[in-house]
Amino acid sequence: KVLIDKIIRKAVVAKGFLTPEAEKKREDTLIAVFSGVLRVIVWAAVILTIISEFGVNIGPLLAAIGAAGFIMGFALQGTLSNFAAGIMILIYRPYDVGDLVNVGDTLGMVDAMTIVSTTLRKPDNQKVVVPNNMIWGDIITNITGTSKRRVDFVFGIGYSDDISKAQKILEDILAKNESILKDPEPVVKVHELADSSVNFVVRPWVETDNYWDVYWDITRTV
């Protein structure tokens, strides 16, 4: 077991799938899975070799094992699909524990990841377990996967109002908010002539952790 674990660990790191220092938990999960599969294969090969050494014809036995494997694979196809999807998620890392994601039509914080499912904590604190095959086969949105986010606002003024003055007010509000980043530069533009208003788009950039604070702050101030 120790030897197989060492071989798998070296292979995983050598292929660049994971960095041991940064991804220790994820690496251990992958190694445990690959190591377990490899141990089963090695033991099966050893047992069959020993049996053949006693002069036993292993052909029928191999046929029986193949048939049993086919039946089990068909019966457990959903589980195997989750298993395969879990391997892909662990290797390609579309999200990590602690990320806010939208997967399987569910929005929530990633609480835990296993080889067959991902556990999310919804904003109202409900716990949801999503099978990995529903995640990997669908669109994955990692809301907190980057360090910066753009906050999108639409503010309207009347047709008789002063457009230049309104734009200056909006720009001043953004300039006074210390959480708004200077780079990329915020955008304030007349965007749409609606039925009863002239609409501005206001698009500042913020650190991801400050998204909602800025959203509520700017809305209240405007």
Q: Give the integer Cα–Cα distance in Å for 103 and 132.
A: 10
Peptide bond into 131 cis (omega under 30): no
Q: Is 9:31 a contact under the CB 8 Å cutoff?
A: yes
Q: Is 148:181 a contact under the CB 8 Å cutoff?
A: yes
Does pLDDT of 6 surpass 70?
Answer: no
Give the mean pLDDT of the chain: 81
Beta strands in 5-116 (DSSP E): 100-103, 106-113
Q: Which two tokens stand for residue 40?
A: 């089963």
- The gap from C-alpha 217 to its chain's centroid, in whole angstroms, comes to 29
Beta strands in 60-167 (DSSP E): 100-103, 106-113, 117-121, 127-131, 141-142, 148-150, 153-157
Q: Nearest CA to 45 among 58, 54, 55?
A: 58
Q: Give the integer Cα–Cα distance in Å for 182 and 31.
A: 44
60-89 per-position pLDDT tens digit: 766 666 666 655 555 545 567 888 888 888
Does pLDDT of 14 surpass 60?
Answer: no
Which is higher by pLDDT, 156 or 96? 156
Does pLDDT of 46 surpass 50?
Answer: yes
pTM to 2 decimal places = 0.64
Quote the DSSP letter at residue 114. -
Does pLDDT of 16 surpass 90?
Answer: no
